[in-house]
Amino acid sequence: MRIETGLRQALGSGQLELHYQPKFSIADSKIIGAEALVRWRHPERGLVPPAEFIPLAEATGLVVQVGEWVLEAACAQAQTWKDAGLPPIRLAVNVSAREFTSALPGRVKETLERYGLEPCWLELEITESTLMHNIDRVIGIMDRITALGVTLSLDDFGTGYSSLSYLKRFPIDTLKIDRSFTTGIPSDASDCAIASTIISIAQQLNHKVIAEGVETVEQLAFLKDSGCDEVQGYLFSKPLPASEFEKALREDW
């Protein structure tokens, strides 16, 4: 069966699920949020990671429906945690370029309202490639989203082609240092220089900065010394099923 047909069926039959990778504040090691990462629980192939179907979904346009499902599922989960009395944490949803249309702000607003959620529960992660086409239109959409109180983070920062002259115009809250740079810390001098430069740019533009893919205490020490605000990675936690993330949140609280 073509993977596209399979993915369409997966959307209709509840085979997608979200896992949550905690994001930690470096200053006090507390969980401050989570990145929602989609997985496909395939009847024969088991749990399929997004790298195996998101690129295809992007190529076919099906990523729009996947994205609608992800936003819905993340907000439903946030409502459950809110109703259970857990402290508000930001759930970050990845949004690909094809979802980043003028329909997105209205859909985000409507979904938050339907689940009775304050905007502080939600963050959207966008990648640099989203920002490359029609910059003025993209900034208009970003402004409408941030006007709702929903924050934006710039994912995989430094891996694309976005120019620094645009960066200052983006209403973003957080820069994410890509895992490919974190990996080389502390042995690779270039990766260390790039990471600390990203941190410095973020500080001077009044953005927060988070490093992803943090796996070692040496990486954490370097990032802390360099002024990084938040971390995400296997040193702290892999992406967790909702029940396990909730457990971690309750223990941390």
Interface contacts to Na ion, rule CB under 5 A: 94, 125, 155
Q: Which is nearer to ligand G, 70 or 165 (CB)?
A: 70
213 binds, among ligand G, Na ion, Mn ion, none (CB under 5 to 8 A by kind): ligand G
For CA atoms 211, 216, 220, 225, give the dihedral sign: negative
In angstroms, rounded to a whole number, what is the distance separating the alpha carbons of residues 81 and 244? 13
- Would you say 129 or 216 has its CB closer to Mn ion? 129
Residues in touch with ligand G (CB under 6 A) = 21, 37-38, 49-51, 54, 63, 67, 70, 94, 96, 155, 179, 212-215, 233-234, 239
Closest separation in Å from C-beta 136 to Mn ion: 25
Q: Work out how close the CB of 211 gets to Mn ion at its nearest, in angstroms, rounded to a whole number.
A: 10
Residue 35 lies near Mn ion (rule: CB under 5 A): no
What's the distance, Cα to Cα, between the start and end of the chain in Å?
A: 46
Q: Helices H, strands E: what count in the chain?
A: 10, 10
Residues in contact with Mn ion, shown as a per-residue x/- string from 139 to 178 under the rule CB under 5 A: ----------------xx----------------------
Residues 6+ apart with CB under 8 A from 199: 177, 209, 223, 226, 227, 228
Gyration radius of the chain over CA positions: 18
Q: CA-CA distances (angstroms) from residue 24 to 46, 123, 199, 244? A: 29, 15, 16, 16
Q: Considering the complex, what minimum distance in angstroms separates the CB of residue 233 from ligand G? A: 3
- Shortest Å, Cβ 238 to ligand G: 6
Shortest distance in whole angstroms from residue 173 CB to ligand G: 16
- Report the partner that residue 88 touches, choosing among Mn ion, ligand G, Na ion, none (CB closer than 5 to 8 A by kind): none
Q: Could you tell me where the DSSP H helices lie in the chain?
A: 3-12, 54-60, 63-83, 104-114, 135-147, 164-167, 179-182, 189-204, 217-226, 242-252
Closest among 9, 1, 74 to 38, alpha carbons compared: 74
Q: Tell me the residue nearest to Mn ion as measured from the CB.
A: 155
- Of Mn ion, ligand G, Na ion, none, which one does residue 50 interact with (CB within 5 to 8 Å by kind)? ligand G
Nearer to ligand G, 128 or 229 (CB): 128
Minimum CB distance to ligand G smaller for 74 or for 117: 74
In this structure, what token pair is assigned to residue 224?
Answer: 């802390």
User: Residue 62 or residue 167: which is nearer to ligand G going by CB?
Assistant: 62
| Phi, psi angle pair for 92, to nearest 5° | -95, 125
Give contact residues for Mn ion (rule: CB under 5 A): 155-156
